[in-house]
A = this chain, B = another copy of it.
Amino acid sequence: MKQETIQRIKQFTIDRDWDQFHSPCNLAKSISIEANELLECFQWSDTDFNIDKVKEELADVIVYCVDMVEKLNLDVDEIINAKMDSNEAKYPVEKAKGSSKKYNEL
């Protein structure tokens, strides 16, 4: 994501004085709420979905994720790389390849 896109998201909140509502808990609720509007695109069919609606709802999830990263002063590359370190350890290629099992069942 471009820095100017992140800046636009931040400015949107500042302009509306909405930082007061963006507690980490409220942002976590918001991410879940938007994730489920995304899920609703696939409620009755896995394959027959409205791509424009999917784009909108996925964007909403990502916007709230950016808000949370900013709110908690996180470095997105750092938290993702730390999680990928952990994922790679939990799902070694030789065990996990081609399997959808959870790590504790592999």
Contact = CB atoms under 8 A, between A and B. Distances in A.
Interface in A70-103: 72, 74, 76-77, 79-84, 86-88, 91, 93, 96-98, 100
Interface residues of A, number: 68
A51 B18 CA distance: 22
Task: Name A's interface SS.
Answer: helix
B62 A65 contact: yes
B59 A17 contact: no
Nearest to A95: B16
Contacts of A55: 72, 74, 79, 82-83
A46 to B, nearest CB: 4
Given A26-B44, A58-B68, A58-B79, A36 B38 contact: no
Given A36-B32, A43-B26, A80 B9 contact: yes
A-B residue pairs, 3 tightest by C-beta? A36-B36, A59-B83, A44-B100
